């Protein structure tokens, strides 16, 4: 119930293409869903986040789509660039705690 399932494990996209990463959860008490971007040798950095009262949030080329009834959320990266190549983690936070539960990560490679 505390898990966040993430797919795919790895993703290869051509420059200019759309990258889509999916996550699913079971615990309906989760109330905050961030996406983190991690470059090799660096700590995770917050990319974009959403709360369950909103179905979509867009920031530049990054969009989160949130489906509360299906308990799924996804990250879309439009016009993917080689500089987007990194590992992406979805996460969720239980309303009653302050810890984040991370997904298993998706290694994105964008080729020119």
Partner 1 sequence: EPEVTQTPSHQVTQMGQEVILRCVPISNHLYFYWYRQILGQKVEFLVSFYNNEISEKSEIFDDQFSVERPDGSNFTLKIRSTKLEDSAMYFCASVSQLTGELFFGEGSRLTVL
Minimal distance in Å, beta carbon 110 to partner 1? 20
Minimal distance in Å, beta carbon 88 to partner 1? 12
Element (H, E) at 46: strand 45-50
> Any idea which residue has 């999916």 for tokens?
22
Minimal distance in Å, beta carbon 97 to partner 1? 6
The smaller minimum CB distance to partner 1, of residues 37 and 74, is found at 37
Minimal distance in Å, beta carbon 103 to partner 1? 6
The smaller minimum CB distance to partner 1, of residues 41 and 112, is found at 41
Q: How many CB atoms lie within 10 A of CB 7?
A: 15
The smaller minimum CB distance to partner 1, of residues 20 and 49, is found at 49
27/102 Cα distance (integer angstroms): 13
Q: How far is CA 84 from CA 14, 70, 81, in A?
A: 11, 28, 5
The smaller minimum CB distance to partner 1, of residues 14 and 99, is found at 99
- Contact residues for partner 1 (CB under 8 A)? 32, 34, 36, 41-46, 49, 89, 91, 97-105
Phi, psi dihedral angles at 61 (to 5 degrees): -85, 0
């Amino acid at each position: 119930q505390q898990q966040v399932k993430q797919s795919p494990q790895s993703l290869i996209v051509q420059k200019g293409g759309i990258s889509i990463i999916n996550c699913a959860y079971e615990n309906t008490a989760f109330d905050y869903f961030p996406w983190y971007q991690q470059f090799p040798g660096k700590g995770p950095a917050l990319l974009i986040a959403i709360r369950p009262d909103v179905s979509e949030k867009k920031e530049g080329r990054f969009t989160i789509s949130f489906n509360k009834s299906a308990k799924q959320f996804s990250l879309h990266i439009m016009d993917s660039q080689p500089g987007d190549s990194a590992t992406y983690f979805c996460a969720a936070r239980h309303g009653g705690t302050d810890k984040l539960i991370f997904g298993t990560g998706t290694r994105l490679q964008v080729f020119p």
